[in-house]
Structures are given as structure tokens and as C-alpha cells.
Amino acid sequence: MSRVQLALRVSDLEGSIRFYSSLFGVEPAKRRPGYANFAVAEPPLKLVLLEGEAGRPTQMDHLGVEVGTTEEVDDATERLSRLGLFTQVEDDTTCCYARQDKVWVHGPGNEPWEVYTVKEDSPEFGTSGVITAMPEQAGAEGAEASTCCGVTACCSHDEAPTEPGVTATEAKTASGCGCVA
């Protein structure tokens, strides 16, 4: 079973939970501090709400496709790589209170997409990297990637680069992670 995932960073988590429960007619499938997700059957959607800063408008955090198995993640990785997209694979990573296998790519507008499978629940929120160095920025091999701004496309922003020698402007350009220049 596959479904599209939409992860939103919201300033009013409780109000957003009430709104999306009403909109889709379902209660959250998982609730943790600063986090909720909905498994909507029709239309097939995984809606993730990540608590953001108070008073800030809701913004898209990242997009994804949830698949049923690690093999499907591997197939997606192979297919996306064959198409010439720069991929970042994360095996056995903890993110959003779940242990996952995933692959990240960026769309033409630098929007982060993950194809992932949930292996099991986790008591920890965890962290997960996001592509910050595209092939032309990482060298000929295009294999270097790192975490920017404390961002974990699935998790949270510090809005300051964490890598020595990387300015916020460079980090934002490389990853679209929302650093403040």
C-alpha cells in the first residue's frame, strides 16, 4: 500500500489537529509531544503535523511517498538514480517517532521528497538528514551530503548552519531548508 505524505509545520498544533480531524473525518493515528500524524484512507494520505513557532503561518515542511517495504524504497532509489536524480539514502534512521528506511530527492523547486517505509514505532522523535549538497556542489561524484541548519526535513529547524565554514545563505541555497540569511 502506498500513499502520498504531506508534512506541515504548524504554529497551533491542537487547533490544526481539530481542523484536520474535521476535514478528513479521522482522529490522529499517532500523537506525541509536538507531533501528530493522520492515516487518511480516502483519499490515501499521510498527513504529518510538526509543531512550529507560535504566530508563524503554516508552511510545507516536506513531501513524501510512504511505501510498504524496504524493497520498495530500494526500487525507488534505483529508479530515481537511473533517471539522473541525486539521491540520499538513509537506512535504519529514526524520524518522527518511527524507525525508517528512506531515500531523499529534491524537486525542481528544491522541495524535499522522501520515499520511505516505517519499520517500527520509536519512543524518540529522532533526526533524519536532508540533501544539502547537490552533485554540482559536492564534486564530480555528487556523493557528499550533510545536514544543514539542524534541519531534518522530517524534524526541526535551528535556522543556523551547523557545518563550519557554511554561511546561512549557502546552506539555504544548497538545501532549501529555511535557514535565515
Closest CA to 172 of 181, 40, 163: 181
C-alpha cell at 92: 535504519
pLDDT tens string 54-107? 999 999 999 999 999 999 999 999 999 999 999 999 999 999 999 999 999 999
Residue 10 vs residue 169, higher pLDDT: 10
3-class DSSP assignment, residue 128: coil
pLDDT value at residue 155: 31
- Please tell me the pTM assigned to this model: 0.70
Give the H or E element holding residue 102: strand 98-106
pLDDT at 142 over 90: no
Ranked by mean pLDDT, which of 72-81, 130-139, 146-155 comes out on top?
72-81
Cα–Cα distance, 75 to 85 (Å, whole number): 14
End-to-end CA distance of the chain: 41
Task: Looking at the structure, give the CATH architecture of the domain made up of residues 3-62.
Answer: Roll (3.10)
Calculate mean pLDDT across residues 103-117: 95
Residue 181 vs residue 74, higher pLDDT: 74
Q: Are strands 112-121 and 98-106 parallel, antiparallel or unpaired?
A: antiparallel
pLDDT value at residue 9: 97
Q: Calculate the average pLDDT of the chain.
A: 79
Provide the H-helix boundaries in 54-167.
Answer: 70-82, 135-138
Domain boundaries, the chain: 3-62, 68-175
Calculate mean pLDDT across residues 107-133: 86
pLDDT value at residue 70: 98
Reported residue count of the chain is: 181
Cα–Cα distance, 70 to 115 (Å, whole number): 10
Q: At 129, is the pLDDT very low, low, confident or very high (cuts 50, 70, 90)?
A: low
Residue 59's alpha-carbon distances to 48, 56, 62, 111, 158, in angstroms, are: 12, 9, 9, 12, 16
Cα–Cα distance, 118 to 79 (Å, whole number): 20
